[in-house]
Amino acid sequence: MATVEALVAGSITADTVIDQAAPSKRWGRLGLLVPAGLLLIVGFVVPLVIMLWYAFTDPSVGFGNFAWYLGDAVQQRILLRTFTTAVNVTVVCLLLGYPYAYAMVAAGPKLRAVLTLLVLVPFWTSLMVRTFAWVILLQDHGPLQSLLATVGLGQIPLIRTNLGVVIGMSQVLLPFFVLPLYAVMTNIDRRLILASSSLGAGPLTSFFRIWLPLSLPGVGAGSLIVFISSLGFYVTPALLGSPGNSLISQQIFTQVNGLLQWGRAGTMGVVLIVITLAILAILALVIGRSTSTIKGVR
Amino acid sequence: MSDSSISQGAAITLNKLTKRYGDATAVDAIDLNAEPGEFLTLLGPSGSGKTTTLNMIAGFVDVTEGEILVDGKPVYALPPHKRNMGMVFQHYALFPHMSVGDNVAYPLRQRRLPKSERGRLVADALNKVGLSNLSHRMPRQLSGGQQQRVALARAIVYSPRVLLMDEPLGALDKKLRDSLQLEIKRIHAELGTTFVYVTHDQDEALVLSDRIAVFNQGKIEQVGSAQDLYERPSTIFVAQFVGESSLFHGLALDHQGGKGVLSSDRTLHAHRGDARSGAHAAMVVRPERIRVQPIDGVEPSGNAVRGRIIQEIYLGNSRKLEVELGDGSKVFVRESAGEVTANRPGDRVWLTFLPEDAVVLTTNESPDRPQLAADVQVPVFTSN
């Protein structure tokens, strides 16, 4: 009761209430984490450990799998291709998603509802359905090819190419870029733009000096989600690409399903995770620094 | 070295300025002007059109009709960033990703001033608002009052000829508001810039302004100095919004030679008034101009109304008495600490006031209460 009254009086904030809560209450709150924690352990940590175990023990104990992986030029080319594909998808999402998110923020309520729906409908549609739709669109005598021919660009191979994979993955992952960016943009105080213009800045300057820096955390969050998701994408590259330009997830699948090389698959998983974590750590440092300067007045 | 931040304020003229949103009229054909270097306050309740007016001057809101002249030149064609006006917002609107110094330097960068000049002007402006050593802090590390000082420094650093302020102290607590008011007043005196200041706080308006325009429902009720508004309100709305007023309702009887008379069983006299004879009107008297005396004494001559004290409010430097009149309406009387009478709640009293302290003004609508019946004993007085 006392804390409620203090809250009503406005003399202390919610944070201090939590800090002052009795230890038993604090444990009670932590208890809320138990179900998710259990799921994470059973569904993620345990398989991860098993994967690690295989990587170092199957078929024999030691670093044999890693020696194979590092010595295989094909694997390294695939790893590189996986990363460039992820970068390309992220760039495409950035180029398409940033103006889109901005349009959502700038639009009136009705147009915003439509734009939001347009983002969410593909989001809600099955991944398989969307990928097969892209197979139809991109195929050799499909609508896109005939459109290109009509425009006079001739034949540009799309299906079974890395370009086709990037197109498909970008469309699938675009909502993951737009939604966090939109969330950040709606929280930017629009009066800052008014202030900027009252201080003599034209619209372009206001955008580059005020709006863009303040929206960067959203760009960072969206890019990270898209980039990391791209690294492990399987269905879309498998259906739109070809074995000749496969990505690491397809290789893992082949090792397990076709060659029964659980150790090698585990090794590739470990490599992917380690590199991803390293990139995450670097980005977290950079973004953490920029957001800490951006989070500001309310 | 001459102080380059001294600037001559610009004159602002609003001609029949109108803003409509669909069918709703936010600002209704107002005429208003600010003299160069004047401190003009737009005072009114929320939704009265004062902020819309300010935003039209700044260029943030399009004008529906009428015109805005700065030094006689229309600014219609100028976008906000070319109007060269300073603006201070209620919620500071500091750029959160820039340090205090960068915030203040922002308008100078837009004007492409050389770096050395920028540094000097920024230091100057921060000095003026008393924050000279906080240049490297980020806005979030400052208190609300400090943030608003930074916003003020940012708005004056390029010496605009007009400074617009939209309830700049609205988010601050009382003590801070009071001290910042004095600083704003001092800075205005130092700069010579024309200030247009929006507030709903009448005390703030009285403290700061050379002149005050009282807004109500998109129109200006009265423009004048604080003293004009307080001592010579021209409408009931102004009388009640600027300071406190006690109203005695009735019918205007006569209005000749600037004198108003209010009918009731006992007629009341005022030296001023604008109500036509026969119109529903109220006699407006400031609470501190009303005297209270016990009813058992000799009946007072001049303006006198019967009432019963129903509440006493102690205010430190004064006390306020709420008095119920015969018609059921309630008025306030204020006695300053040195002249508190012995009258207590429950006492029946005479309220007296001088004709020169009263003004008769038309009430917009017919009063929702019966006419004043000063001499009639009403059951509510005798029932207990």
d(CA B210, CA B152): 20
Q: Mind telling me how many Å the CA of A92 is from chain B's nearest CA? A: 27
CATH code 2.40.50.140 for B244-382: yes
- % of chain B surpassing 90 pLDDT: 65
pLDDT score of B369 more than 90: no
- Tens of pLDDT, residue by residue over B55-83, are 999 999 999 999 999 999 999 899 999 99
Determine whether the interchain pair B94/A209 forms a contact, defined as Cβ–Cβ distance below 8 Å. Answer: no
d(CA A274, CA A285): 17
- % of chain A surpassing 90 pLDDT: 48
Q: Which residues of A touch B107 (CB under 8 A)?
A: 199-200
**Which of A254-258, B256-260, B285-289 has the highest mean predicted lDDT (pLDDT)?**
B285-289
Entry field: residues in chain B? 384
pLDDT score of B383 more than 70: no
Contact B52, B104 (CB under 8 A): no
Q: Which residues of A touch B155 (CB under 8 A)?
A: 198-199
Per-residue pLDDT, averaged over A134-152, amounts to 87
Secondary structure of chain A in HEC code, one letter for each residue = CHHHHHHHHCCCCHHHHHHHCCHHHHHHHHHCCHHHHHHHHHHHHHHHHHHHHHHHHCCCCCCHHHHHHHHCHHHHHHHHHHHHHHHHHHHHHHHHHHHHHHHHHHCCHHHHHHHHHHHHHHHHCCHHHHHHHHHHHHCCCCHHHHHHHHHCCCCCCCCCCHHHHHHHHHHHHHHHHHHHHHHHHHCCCCHHHHHHHHCCCCHHHHHHHHHHHHHHHHHHHHHHHHHHHHHCCCHHHHHHCCHHHCCHHHHHHHHHHHCCCHHHHHHHHHHHHHHHHHHHHHHHHHHHHHHHHHCCCC
- Tens of pLDDT, residue by residue over B292-333, are 988 876 788 888 888 999 999 999 899 999 999 888 889 999
Token duo for residue B313? 């409010």
How is B207-273 classified by DSSP, letter by letter?
Answer: HH-SEEEEEETTEEEEEE-HHHHHHS-SSHHHHHHSS--EEEEEEEEEEETTEEEEESSS-EEESEE
Per-residue pLDDT, averaged over A157-169, amounts to 90
Parallel, antiparallel or unpaired: strands B162-166 and B85-88: parallel
| A95 CB-side CA count, 13 A | 9
* Confidence (pTM): 0.80
Selected residue of A187, A193, A198 to mutate for chain B interface (largest B Cβ count, 10 A): A198
pLDDT of residue A59: 83
Determine whether the interchain pair A191/B80 forms a contact, defined as Cβ–Cβ distance below 8 Å. Answer: no
Contact B378, B306 (CB under 8 A): no
Q: Which residues of A touch B21 (CB under 8 A)?
A: none
pLDDT of residue B169: 93
Supply the ipTM of this predicted assembly.
0.81
- Compare B271 and A298 and report the one with higher pLDDT: B271
Confidence of residue B257 (pLDDT cuts 50, 70, 90): low
> Top-level CATH class of A59-294?
mainly alpha
pLDDT of residue B267: 80
SS3 (DSSP) at B378? coil
Any idea where the domains of chain A sit in the sequence? 15-57, 59-294
Confidence of residue B93 (pLDDT cuts 50, 70, 90): very high
Nearest chain A residue to B163, by CA: A198
B residues 73-112 lying closer than 8 A (beta carbon) to A:
79-87, 89, 91-97, 106-107, 110-111
CA-CA distances (angstroms) from residue A228 to A86, A225, A278, B332? Answer: 8, 5, 12, 71
Q: Mind telling me how many Å the CA of B151 is from chain A's nearest CA? A: 10
Q: Tell me which of A69-78, B118-127, B265-274 is least confident.
A: B265-274
Contact A207, A281 (CB under 8 A): no
Dihedral pair phi/psi, residue B246, rounded to 5°? -105, 130
pLDDT of residue A31: 87
Q: Tell me which of A162-176, A283-297, B23-37, B43-57 is least confident.
A: A283-297
- Tens of pLDDT, residue by residue over B167-201, are 999 888 888 899 899 999 999 999 999 999 999 99
- Measure CA B253 to chain center: 31
Q: Which residues of A touch B145 (CB under 8 A)?
A: none
pLDDT of residue A244: 83
Contact B333, B320 (CB under 8 A): yes
Q: Which residues of B touch A199 (CB under 8 A)?
A: 81, 86-87, 106-107, 110, 154-155, 158
pLDDT of residue B368: 46
A residues 153-192 lying closer than 8 A (beta carbon) to B:
189, 191-192
The set of residues, in sequence order, having a beta carbon less than 8 Å from that of A90 and lying 6+ positions away, is: A177, A223, A226, A227, A230
Between helices A262-294 and A212-231, what is the axis angle to 10°?
170
d(CA A219, CA A98): 8
B12-229 homologous superfamily: P-loop containing nucleotide triphosphate hydrolases (3.40.50.300)
pLDDT of residue B364: 67
Q: Which residues of A touch B60 (CB under 8 A)?
A: 194, 197-198
pLDDT of residue A292: 55
Determine whether the interchain pair B86/A192 forms a contact, defined as Cβ–Cβ distance below 8 Å. Answer: no
pLDDT of residue B338: 84
Identity at B115, one-letter amino acid code: K
Per-residue pLDDT, averaged over A165-193, amounts to 94
Contact B335, B321 (CB under 8 A): yes
Parallel, antiparallel or unpaired: strands B12-21 and B85-88: unpaired
pLDDT score of B2 more than 60: no
Mean pLDDT of the residues in chain A: 85
- % of chain B surpassing 70 pLDDT: 89
Any idea where the domains of chain B sit in the sequence? 12-229, 244-382
d(CA B145, CA B130): 11
pLDDT of residue B135: 92
